[in-house]
Structure 1
């Protein structure tokens, strides 16, 4: 296996403006370094700085040297998050411009390891321990290639991939990246945050990439679909409880502590889940060490200290309005919310919402989190107190929860603690991805 080139979808707008820096192969008939591309009818129209225009359904500006780069103007980052904004971004590699859903889509074609240097610098702090960065380099590399393999399989088999199951009684939905069909991954948090060389690639990130160059997590001769989240809450979740119903042995329950072998909780049971969530058991990710947290959390997240165990309260009006707006379903007054099934981490897979107007079960975990928050609830590992009941209708709801994110695979805060405790990146990966192997593929 040689190092592959990957295609990263950076932005999609009616018009894209960009500037070349360095040696590029230009489309025939155009010149200069500043260009704009827009949609007219069903074609792309390229205009160079001399005013010359030409049309095609695709344009490619091929990089002819390793230090060549291009600058894209007004790239939207943080899509659908409270900090969404536009910024100019710079990328190494080639630029491909295609049509996607009536817009110009800018795609960066770049060697995998070059892509990873940016991802690790964007996802992780430069203060991170070397072993945490190495572990993250391996899982980011593995996750990406596993997605590419999966997409090609779906395309080859012409599978009618379904991510939503809806009946009169249930709405079960999961969110992954199968909607990207014209490129391998996007550049935003939906896949992995990628900002090219817009920000300085940290020396530590470069060292982590070089130290693990070409290394993948493997299981049964296949590249692992290596997932990660901020905080598992003490126990990690099975893949099939967050996404499609496929069991991956290396993405199954682990207890996030050194005493894992002697911990025998079954958080699928409501009584054990309730006790676990309402207490604060020992775990790698149960930490308030600011030095550790700063390795994983961006500045705007570091104010959050209650991610291991957290609490959210809603009035009846707040909750009924929120659920209606977020799901499009008018439940009327919310009478009760009940966990119908939980995963191994205590995360709710199916939540039954009983209202005065209708009753419906929703899932999986991200659908539940989206229904109960204006952005994303920390996790779906929570228990519910129905309080101040008047004529059978609660006037207040308190959600007490555990963890931050889906909880599948590597727990970033737990891994950061392990790095500080002296665990090697190989030991960190073996802890979170049971029975996987570390294999150098190129």
Structure 2
């Protein structure tokens, strides 16, 4: 049986060529040694199968493989890649709406950038500061990538369950909307107790539906919840306040964490220890600058979740402020810190130079939008998918886009 229309005049087009299935529902193709979790602590390779068309693009002497398929089929894979077959129906429905909304918002944003006369800017650099956020700047030949930079898409490698299909079907065409625009709905693993606003993490644009909220039906007592205040952030991060995502319930966690995700056991609160030698070498290598010995890591600006948006690295030879949150996570880890919501302890200080740094942190991910572990707990507690979306996306409306 022929599975693809092989090379013909229509398939060969300039710097790319396309394989199209003759029988969409039964045909598939396999890519070997696909890297997933790129530059994250769970990075690995796996073989992946896909439905739809396969497009090869040649650019700068490199070959890019692009899978072309329908949005709803894409969602079947995304939800199966991001979630587990044990997930509750309400969690799956909430995630289907979010992933659909996010994808459509990115397609619209990409088209707007193509039409814009000015280049997309994601870096601000002076002698004293290096501020960068990561979003759309490297996705010019396709709508979205297949890894955690966008949302996990691992083809039909992750078998979709009947429940996933049901969630996609029952929410078909539903999107989060605000002022008749599709919401740029974001998600991550664990907020650490309070979510973050969009403008603190990416470009300085205010989305009213992506603001900081407490991940708890009732605000915890005895806490100042404005974590832009350093004392409040220190108290919050060094303790473990009640929150939807503050759980070690294996049943709940298995709904959101795939096998390789479950290698991470501490995410609501976590700790990293660096020797002076290690942190000095790491920062120098990641920034390409010689700071000398690291004297201090000083918070400059935090968001309301406690996540650092600006961090001052004080060295014996150089001082520099870096941001935003992902840049901080990249510089202070071989892969990525779980989040930028952390506090610093300097140990055994001699002549102003610490022998050791201890980073105590909260949460896993950027903290904007839906907290996957928190949403899983909400689903387990009986909340509907609409209530889950209302909790994390204040002011957004659920509407049929198609």
Query: Per the shorter chain, which TM-score range?
Result: over 0.9
- The Cα offsets for residues 85-121 of structure 1, whole Å up to 9 and x where unpaired, read as 5444322222222222222222211110000001111
Q: Is 2:169 aligned against 1:169?
A: no
| 2:262 match | 302
User: Of the candidates 283, 289, 292, which is equivalent to residue 249 of structure 2?
Assistant: 289
Could you tell me the TM-score, scaled by structure 2's length? 0.94
- The verdict on how the C-alpha distance between 1:195 and 1:241 changes in structure 2, with shifts beyond 3 A counting, is same
Per the TM alignment, residue 199 of structure 1 is displaced from its structure 2 partner at its CA by 3.1
Q: Is 2:162 aligned against 1:203?
A: yes
* Bigger radius of gyration: 1
| 1:13 match | none
Please identify which structure carries the higher strand content. 1
| 1:382 match | 342
The alignment covers a number of residue pairs equal to 400
User: Of the candidates 288, 291, 297, which is equivalent to residue 328 of structure 1?
Assistant: 288
Q: How does 1:20-419 map to 2 (within 5 A)?
A: 23-28=3-8, 56-78=14-36, 79-81=38-40, 84-260=43-219, 265-419=225-379
Q: What CA distance in whole angstroms lies between the structure 1 residues aligned with 2:177 and 2:142?
A: 24
- The Cα offsets for residues 254-289 of structure 1, whole Å up to 9 and x where unpaired, read as 100010498761100011111111111111111111
Per the TM alignment, residue 187 of structure 1 is displaced from its structure 2 partner at its CA by 1.6
- The verdict on how the C-alpha distance between 1:138 and 1:347 changes in structure 2, with shifts beyond 3 A counting, is same
Q: What CA distance in whole angstroms lies between the structure 1 residues aligned with 2:43 and 2:304?
A: 34
- The Cα offsets for residues 279-308 of structure 1, whole Å up to 9 and x where unpaired, read as 111111111111111111122332433211
Contact 1:22 1:68 in 2 (8 A): no
Could you tell me the TM-score, scaled by structure 1's length? 0.86
- The verdict on how the C-alpha distance between 1:174 and 1:127 changes in structure 2, with shifts beyond 3 A counting, is same
Q: What CA distance in whole angstroms lies between the structure 2 residues aligned with 1:371 and 1:203?
A: 42
When the two chains are superposed, the root-mean-square deviation of aligned CA atoms in Å is 2.0
Per the TM alignment, residue 329 of structure 1 is displaced from its structure 2 partner at its CA by 1.6
Contact 1:96 1:107 in 2 (8 A): yes
- The Cα offsets for residues 183-223 of structure 1, whole Å up to 9 and x where unpaired, read as 10112222221122233222221111011111100011110
- The verdict on how the C-alpha distance between 1:264 and 1:391 changes in structure 2, with shifts beyond 3 A counting, is closer
SS at match of 1:180: coil
Q: What CA distance in whole angstroms lies between the structure 1 residues aligned with 2:348 and 2:96?
A: 49
Larger relative contact order (C-alpha < 8 A, sep ≥ 6)? Answer: 2
Per the TM alignment, residue 386 of structure 1 is displaced from its structure 2 partner at its CA by 1.3
Structure 2 residue runs without a partner (length 5+): none
SS at match of 2:260: helix
Contact 2:40 2:336 in 1 (8 A): no
